[in-house]
Amino acid sequence: MNMIHTQDGAVDVFKRDWVEAFGVTRLEIDANIFAAELLVPSEHLHIRATKLGANGIDLADDAIITRLADDFVVPKQVIAVKLYRLGYLQV
């Protein structure tokens, strides 16, 4: 259950089912992809990862992932997923 406080002080409560909570609906997946691109544009990540020598990053060695996450001020998971989609990350 989530609560939103409005400007007039009222509290609005809304509930999400497990499908929405885990991001498995097409809309939720698309929203996550959009948010990730907004926070970490692929072109900028590509440039930064290339400068760090990030070809074939191993998920077990997360020094580059941590550095990129710090640079973009996002969780490491966001960087890892984007690097995987860009073909940098070896799983």
- Reported as a single tens digit per residue, the pLDDT across 61-77 is 688 889 999 999 999 98
pLDDT range class, residue 1, cuts 50, 70, 90: very low
pTM for the model: 0.66
- pLDDT, residue 43, reads 94
Distance from C-alpha of 63 to C-alpha of 41, rounded to nearest angstrom: 20
> Tokens representing 30?
């698309």
CA dist 13 and 27 (Å) reads: 21
At 21 the pLDDT is 60
Terminal Cα-to-Cα distance of the chain (whole angstroms): 34
List, for residues 4-58, the tens digit of each pLDDT value.
545 565 554 555 565 666 667 888 888 888 999 999 999 999 898 888 876 667 6
